[in-house]
């Protein structure tokens, strides 16, 4: 499970900010917290869900993109060519920071052991990288790495190992200055690093606004393979979509289909050939209760494409959500509330709050229905806001000590008590825009 995430100098994030899943000393909604015992019998109380709210352009998505960046860099780092430039996105509104490394760090509990992993990098090299763990309650070093000069040509890179030093020295010799040691050594079957690497690869799942049809296809795959159909159907029934059954069937595109005719006019020839060479696809049908002309009960089938955007969004989420809850994954989801009724957003959040599989959910949203202490604790409600220098700041309702378990968080958030709402200059709009329009 994830304990903490920290990032500095990435996109709109200038100074170091921390998102913590460590539960505060609150008595309400204890079911939203899972207690984890480490091997040295130290107990951690970790939150199952965290929400992020704030105005547009305040950094909600950039925080999620920072987590996504860390995951992707860990997974793909080993495939980089020597000397290849890194994906470096510093805070650009202060020239000092455009010459500083971006920093990423995460604390994890894996198989009862606390791990601390992090790195800092610029566009050319990994400046620092480290992995510590606490197998007996005390900090132990798996590896430390530091590049003392900020260039590839003149770098002096130091590695420090206290465990399995001979093998790790060999792994280090295979690690170029633009690659993460965690990735290279795991690829070379270093068991000391593979648990952390595998968490990024298998347990951390991120849904950004760039993802569209991938999740929809996964739900369809689970139904078509008859793996989770019963659960997915319950998922949709529970959301009151009036769907009594769902089925899939293999279909194929025909030369006379309107779809084929339309895309043939807009796609490049080679791409069109690829499309029609693999015409088979899976068609999804929903079944709903209806009446015949005599008033008798009948079943009516619909194409999934005929369903509402909200139904399609919920269908898209059904397979992955069920799968991640059952596997105890950590899901990070940007704009979870898009196309969903407020009650459906609450339903999804409560699924994670009530789970007992160690699954965790971090999500951003604008729909404030879940900002209620019936559903979330004060330490589960985070906000992003813009500082005076337009950098992102991050804090939670728990950081406001005057708030109590009886406080109306939604009302106070919308009133601006936590600052994380947009300031709309109505006078500017009226004077400069409507005046011109009305004229």
Cross-sheet strand order for the sheet of 245-252: 245-252, 280-291, 297-303
pLDDT digits (tens, 9 = 90+) for 118-138: 999 999 999 999 999 998 888
Q: 353 with 279, same domain?
A: no
Residue 426 phi, psi dihedral angles, 5° rounding: -65, -35
Using a 10 angstrom Cβ sphere, with 0-12 exposed, 13-18 middle and 19 or more buried, the burial of residue 339 is middle
- Is pLDDT of 71 > 80? yes
CATH number at residue 191: 3.40.50
**DSSP one-letter code for 424:** P
Cβ atoms of 50 and 362 closer than 8 Å: yes
Q: 95 with 202, same domain?
A: yes
Domain count, the chain: 2
Q: 299 with 379, same domain?
A: no
Dist CA 94 CA 82 (whole Å): 30
Dist CA 323 CA 346 (whole Å): 19
Q: Is 195 helix (H, G, I), strand (E, B) or coil?
A: helix
Dist CA 332 CA 205 (whole Å): 6
Structural domain range at position 248: 214-318
Whether 436 is covered by a domain: the verdict is: no
pLDDT at 225: 78
pLDDT digits (tens, 9 = 90+) for 325-337: 999 999 999 999 9
Last residue in a domain, options 318, 353, 370? 318
- Is pLDDT of 384 > 50? yes
- What's the chain's length in residues? 439
What is this structure's pTM?
0.87
Dist CA 277 CA 100 (whole Å): 50
Cβ atoms of 273 and 263 closer than 8 Å: no
When pLDDT is averaged across residues 383-402 and rounded to a whole number, the result is 94
- Is pLDDT of 419 > 90? no
Q: 94 with 138, same domain?
A: yes
Whether 58 is covered by a domain: the verdict is: yes
pLDDT at 252: 60
Q: Which of 317, 305, 309 is nearest to 232 (CA)?
A: 317
pLDDT at 270: 57
Q: 236 with 309, same domain?
A: yes
pLDDT at 371: 94
Residue 303 phi, psi dihedral angles, 5° rounding: -75, 145
pLDDT at 99: 92
- Is pLDDT of 190 > 70? yes
pLDDT at 439: 61
Above pLDDT 90, what percent of the chain? 57
**Which range among 152-161, 184-193, 297-306 shows the weakest confidence by mean pLDDT?**
152-161
Q: 15 with 163, same domain?
A: yes
Q: 203 with 223, same domain?
A: no
Residue 74 phi, psi dihedral angles, 5° rounding: -60, -45
- Is pLDDT of 276 > 50? no
Whether 31 is covered by a domain: the verdict is: yes
**Which range among 17-26, 178-187, 191-200, 298-307 shows the weakest confidence by mean pLDDT?**
298-307
Q: 115 with 68, same domain?
A: yes
Q: 284 with 190, same domain?
A: no
pLDDT at 144: 96
């Amino acid at each position: 499970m994830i304990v903490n995430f920290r990032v500095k100098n990435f996109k709109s994030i200038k100074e170091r900010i921390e998102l913590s899943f460590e539960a505060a000393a609150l008595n309400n909604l204890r079911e939203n917290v899972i207690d984890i015992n480490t091997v040295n019998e130290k107990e951690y109380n970790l939150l199952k869900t965290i929400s992020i709210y704030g105005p547009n352009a305040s950094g909600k998505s950039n925080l999620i993109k920072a987590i996504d960046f860390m995951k992707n860099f860990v997974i793909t780092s080993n495939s980089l060519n020597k000397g290849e430039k890194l994906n470096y996105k510093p805070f650009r509104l202060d020239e000092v920071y455009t010459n500083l490394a971006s920093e990423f760090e995460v604390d994890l509990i894996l198989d009862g052991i606390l791990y601390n992993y992090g790195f800092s990098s610029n566009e050319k090299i990994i400046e620092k990288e480290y992995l510590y763990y606490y197998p007996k309650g005390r900090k132990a070093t798996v590896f430390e790495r530091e590049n003392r000069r900020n260039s590839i040509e003149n770098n002096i890179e130091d590695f420090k190992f206290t465990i399995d030093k001979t093998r790790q020295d060999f792994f280090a010799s295979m690690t170029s200055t633009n690659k993460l040691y965690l990735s290279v050594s795991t690829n070379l079957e270093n068991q000391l690093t593979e648990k952390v690497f595998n968490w990024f690869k298998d347990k951390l799942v991120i849904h950004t606004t760039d993802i569209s049809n991938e999740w929809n296809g996964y739900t369809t795959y689970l139904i078509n393979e008859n793996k989770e159909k019963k659960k997915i159907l319950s998922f949709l029934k529970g959301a009151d979509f009036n769907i009594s059954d769902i089925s899939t069937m293999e279909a194929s595109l025909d030369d006379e289909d309107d779809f084929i005719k339309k895309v043939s006019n807009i796609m490049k020839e080679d791409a069109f050939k690829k499309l029609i060479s693999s015409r088979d696809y899976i068609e999804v049908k929903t079944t709903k209760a209806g009446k015949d002309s005599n008033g008798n009960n009948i079943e009516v089938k619909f194409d999934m494409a005929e369903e509402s955007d909200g139904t399609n969004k919920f269908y898209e989420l059904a397979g992955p959500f069920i799968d991640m809850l059952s596997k105890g994954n950590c899901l990070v989801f940007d704009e979870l509330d898009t196309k969903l009724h407020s009650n459906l957003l609450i339903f999804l959040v409560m699924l994670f709050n009530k789970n007992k599989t160690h699954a965790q959910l971090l999500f951003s949203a604008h729909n404030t229905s879940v900002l209620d202490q019936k559903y979330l604790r004060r330490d589960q409600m985070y906000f992003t806001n813009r500082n005076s220098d337009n950098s992102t700041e991050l804090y939670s309702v728990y950081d406001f000590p005057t708030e109590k378990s009886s406080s109306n968080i939604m009302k106070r958030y919308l009133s601006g008590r936590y600052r994380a709402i947009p300031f709309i200059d109505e006078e500017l709009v009226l004077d400069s825009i409507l005046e011109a329009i009305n004229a």
